[in-house]
């Protein structure tokens, strides 16, 4: 046997024990469809199989041609903490297989002129072996080994690592397909859940918050915000969901004319690599965010707003699949918002129509019958034989008149458009007078004196509003009313010296108890507060 044959035999015998390990490693790679678990298993197996001290697997972003993640073996947590910075794959030895996907074998990487950019705290390394992980010409990443424990890396090591990398590429491809399918399923389920919730009848503010919260969770974003157009031509954040307190995000505006706003108003999505440095971003909160998606919420050519999904500074960039699924979610959410808004309008219209029908029935049936009964009692009272009977009929007439006024006040309240009631006394008074304009044909003038909202509380405010409704209803009943003045004085004083609130309602209609031509009636109400 020649020396050459003997050397080949020794090399083959040395490699023989590793073949079962290789077969076991190949079988083990395909047992887990979760991408991150699969990648860590690959680098651990490669390091053990070849007998290296350190191993790494760099995941390549096909769109950007750089490393997005690095999985390591043989390094402690303290080593990773010292290194901190992730290589981008554009420079240094680690970037060579990324830019040129061919195997690379070096006895001493420190002597190679391409070696540069080693971060402080990085372990000292000499021998190096790197192979690409690819399938069908598509590069998924690169597998690196350094510091072989028993000498230098050999061609045999390179062949074994290429076999492992080839199988790893298939496994990564399958895992990515599985991950994409799961991701698509989550987005579809999320969009369906959002649509169901919106159509269940949430108010507009809660509906926007639901969209922001669901999108943030699905996109694994640091925040989810909804912006809506402003009257000035900009956009304002009206709903925000964030991992941290979103209080300082609400109310943030994008000024008119901003480059990013031009794209959004044109219905174009905006994808940003780094919000903090992108010149298109002008909001003060941009400094804390990195990758971001800004997706127009539009339906039928109408722009409702924008859904923004920023990730933290230094976070993973969004992939093409992320962008596609988020854009589809935004389109469905916009349609759901439009449908929910239309449903809310229909429900409000149905309530208003029902209230209007009740008001008409009360006016046409109940009030007319009560008024006819009052006239009959008044006629009977004039023919009363005794003072006692006259007094009794008078009280009955007064009660009927009071009941008629109360029913008319109820009619007046029913005919006001349904809306969320204001909480301040001033707002409630203005709401009552605005509603009276529907019946009067004009809006009463209102004047406030003193700190009404501060001094007038419950139950006085409820009594004040009831008195105001009664006075406005009475003004509506009088003939010839062309103007009504409402004055509320919160700094009035009762005869006994107590602080009070006084209501004066004056109209220019014909007086019911005066001679022909007498005009003008003033209703006064006051109560201590």
Give the integer Cα–Cα distance in Å for 398 and 402: 6
Q: What is the pLDDT of residue 6?
A: 42
> Does 66 fall in a domain?
yes
Q: Which of 150, 180, 210 is the last residue of a domain?
A: 180
Q: What is the mean pLDDT of the chain?
A: 78
pLDDT surpasses 80 at 67:
no
- What φ, ψ does residue 133 adopt, rounded to 5°? -110, 110
pLDDT higher than threshold 80 for residue 499: yes
- Give the Cα separation of 338 and 332 in Å (integer): 10
Helices (H), 16-139: 18-29, 35-50, 77-83, 96-99
3-state percent helix, strand, coil for the chain, nearest multiple of 5:
50, 20, 30
- Domain boundary (147, 180, 213) is at 180
- The pLDDT of residue 347 is 66
The yes-or-no verdict on residue 50 having pLDDT over 60 is yes
pLDDT score, position 299: 77
Task: Please indicate, yes or no, whether residues 25 and 170 belong to a single structural domain of this protein.
Answer: yes
In a domain, 255, yes or no: yes
Q: Which burial class, exposed, middle or buried, applies to 303 when counting CB atoms under 10 A from its CB (0-12, 13-18, 19+)?
A: middle
Domain match, 172 and 198 both:
no
SS3 16: coil
Number of C-alpha atoms within 13 angstroms, CB side, residue 436?
31
**Separation CA 336–CA 194 (nearest Å):** 8
**Last residue of a domain, which of 155, 180, 205?**
180
CA separation (Å) from 4 to 9, 17, 85, 160, 474? 9, 21, 47, 22, 119
Residue 401 falls inside a structural domain: no
Residue 382 resides in a domain: no
pLDDT bucket at 504, cuts 50 / 70 / 90? very high
Is the bond preceding residue 134 a cis peptide, omega within 30 degrees?
Answer: no
Q: Which pLDDT does position 302 carry in this prediction? A: 77
173 falls within a domain: yes
In a shared domain, residues 124 and 251: no
> Residue 31 belongs to what domain range?
13-180
Q: How far apart are CA 164 and CA 170, in angstroms?
A: 10
Tens-digit pLDDT profile for residues 144-176:
899 998 889 988 889 888 888 887 788 777 877
**pLDDT at res. 17:** 57
**Taking 80 as the threshold, does the pLDDT of residue 38 lie above it?**
no
Asked whether residue 102 falls in the same domain as residue 54, the answer is yes
Q: Of 6, 50, 224, which Cα lies nearest the Cα of 149?
A: 50
Q: How far is CA 171 from CA 73, 77, 101, in A?
A: 19, 27, 18
Separation between Cα atoms, residue 45 and residue 192, nearest integer Å: 41
Q: What is the mean pLDDT of residues 417-432?
A: 71
Strand order across the beta sheet in which 253-254 lies: 253-254, 235-242, 223-229, 302-312, 289-299, 270-272
Q: Does 90 reside within a domain? A: yes
The predicted pLDDT at position 280 comes to 83
What does the pLDDT read at residue 513?
Answer: 60
**Residue 400 is assigned to a structural domain of this protein:** no
Indicate if 213 and 153 belong to the same structural domain.
Answer: no
Do 176 and 191 lie in one domain? The reply is no
Q: In which band, very low, low, confident or very high, does the pLDDT at 18 lie, cut at 50, 70 and 90?
A: low
Q: Is 330 in the same domain as 470? A: no
Q: With H, G, I as helix, E, B as strand and everything else as coil, classify residue 463.
A: helix
For residue 416, the model assigns a pLDDT of 55
Q: Which range, 39-43, 127-131, 454-458, is most confident?
A: 127-131
366 vs 2 pLDDT, higher one: 366
| pLDDT for res 13 | 44
Name the pLDDT band for 1 (thresholds 50, 70, 90). Answer: very low
Q: Number of structural domains, the chain?
A: 3
DSSP string, 275-317: TTT-TT---GGGGGEEEEEEEEEEETTEEEEEEEEEEETTPPP
Greater confidence, 187 or 21?
A: 187
CA trace torsion 163, 169, 172, 173 (10° rounding): -140
Whether the per-residue pLDDT at 389 is higher than 90: the answer is: no
**Lowest model confidence (mean pLDDT) among 313-322, 417-426, 484-493:** 417-426
Residues ≥6 apart with Cβ < 8 Å to 83: 119, 121, 122
Question: Residues 264-310: pLDDT tens digits?
Answer: 877 788 898 888 888 888 787 888 888 999 998 887 777 888 899 99
Average confidence (pLDDT) over 405-410? 62
State whether 157 and 214 are in the same domain.
no
Tell me how far apart the alpha carbons of residues 31 and 48 are, in angstroms, rounded to a whole number.
18
pLDDT (mean) for 139-144? 85
Q: Are residues 209 and 161 in the same domain?
A: no
Q: Which of 228-237, 405-414, 428-437, 487-496 has the highest mean pLDDT?
A: 487-496
CA atoms within 13 A of residue 403's CA, in its CB half-sphere: 16
pLDDT at 78 over 50: yes
Which of 66-70, 138-142, 217-221, 249-253 ranks highest by mean pLDDT? Answer: 217-221
The whole-number average pLDDT for the span 49-77 is 81
Q: Residue 426: CA atoms inside 13 Å, Cβ hemisphere, count?
A: 11
Same domain, 162 and 206: no
DSSP string of 178-229?
A: HHHHHHHHHHHHHHHHHHHHHHTT--HHHHHHHHHHHHHHHHT-SEEEEEEE
The confidence band for 93, taking pLDDT boundaries of 50, 70 and 90, is confident
Give the pLDDT mean for 336-340: 78
Would you say residue 31 lies in a domain?
yes
The percentage of residues in the chain with a pLDDT greater than 90, rounded to a whole number, is: 7
Lowest-confidence region among 61-65, 161-165, 490-494: 61-65
CATH of the domain at 470: 3.30.565.10
Tally DSSP H helices, then E strands, for the chain.
Answer: 14, 15
User: Is 147 found in the same domain as 57?
Assistant: yes
Which H or E run includes 263? helix 259-265
**317 and 210 in one domain?**
yes
């Amino acid at each position: 046997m020649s020396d050459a044959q003997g050397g080949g035999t020794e090399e083959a015998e040395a490699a023989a024990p590793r073949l079962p390990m290789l077969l076991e490693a190949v079988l083990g790679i395909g047992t887990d469809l979760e991408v991150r678990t699969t990648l860590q298993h690959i680098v651990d197996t490669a390091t053990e199989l070849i007998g290296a001290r350190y191993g790494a697997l760099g995941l390549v972003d096909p769109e950007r041609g750089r490393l997005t993640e690095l999985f390591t073996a043989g390094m402690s947590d303290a080593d990773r903490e010292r290194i901190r910075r992730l290589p981008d794959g554009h420079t240094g030895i680690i970037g060579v297989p990324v830019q040129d996907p061919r195997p690379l074998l070096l006895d001493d990487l420190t002597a190679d002129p391409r070696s540069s950019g080693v971060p402080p705290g990085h372990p000292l390394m000499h021998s190096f072996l790197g192979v690409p992980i690819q399938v069908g010409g598509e590069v998924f990443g690169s597998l690196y080994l350094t510091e072989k424990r028993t000498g230098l890396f050999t061609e045999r090591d390179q062949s074994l690592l290429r076999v492992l990398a080839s199988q790893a590429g298939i496994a990564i491809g399958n895992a990515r397909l599985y991950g994409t399918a799961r991701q698509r399923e989550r987005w579809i389920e999320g969009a369906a859940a959002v649509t169901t919730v919106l159509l269940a009848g949430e108010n507009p503010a809660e509906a926007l918050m639901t969209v922001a919260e669901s999108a943030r969770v699905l996109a694994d974003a640091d925040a989810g915000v909804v912006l809506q157009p402003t009257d000035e031509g900009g956009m304002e954040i009206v709903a925000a969901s964030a991992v941290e307190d979103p209080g300082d995000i609400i109310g943030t505006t994008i000024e008119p004319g901003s480059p990013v706003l031009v794209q959004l108003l044109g219905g174009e999505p905006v994808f940003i690599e780094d919000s903090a440095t992108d010149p298109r971003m002008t909001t003060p909160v941009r400094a804390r965010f990195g990758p971001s998606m800004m997706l127009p919420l539009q339906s039928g050519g109408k722009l409702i707003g924008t859904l923004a999904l920023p990730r933290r500074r230094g976070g993973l960039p969004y992939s093409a699949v992320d962008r596609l699924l988020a854009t589809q979610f935004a389109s469905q959410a916009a349609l759901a918002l439009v449908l929910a808004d239309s449903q809310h309008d229909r429900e409000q219209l149905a309530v208003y129509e029902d209230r209007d029908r009740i008001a008409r029935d009360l006016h046409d049936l109940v009030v007319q019958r009560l008024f006819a009964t009052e006239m009959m009692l008044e006629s009977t009272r004039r023919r009363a034989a005794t003072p006692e009977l006259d007094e009794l009929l008078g009280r009955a007439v007064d009660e009927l008149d009071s009941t008629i006024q109360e029913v008319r006040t109820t009619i007046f309240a029913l005919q006001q458009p349904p809306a969320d009631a204001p909480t301040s006394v001033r707002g409630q008074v203005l709401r009552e007078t605005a509603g009276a304009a529907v019946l009067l044909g004009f809006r009463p003038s209102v004047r406030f004196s003193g700190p009404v909202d501060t001094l007038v509380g419950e139950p006085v405010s409820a009594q004040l509003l009831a008195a105001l409704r009664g006075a406005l209803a009475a003004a509506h009943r009088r003939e010839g009313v062309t103007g009504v003045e409402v004055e509320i004085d919160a700094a009035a004083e009762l005869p006994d010296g107590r602080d009070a609130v006084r209501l004066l309602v004056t109209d220019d209609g014909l007086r019911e108890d005066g001679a022909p031509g007498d005009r003008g009636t003033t209703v006064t109400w006051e109560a201590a507060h």
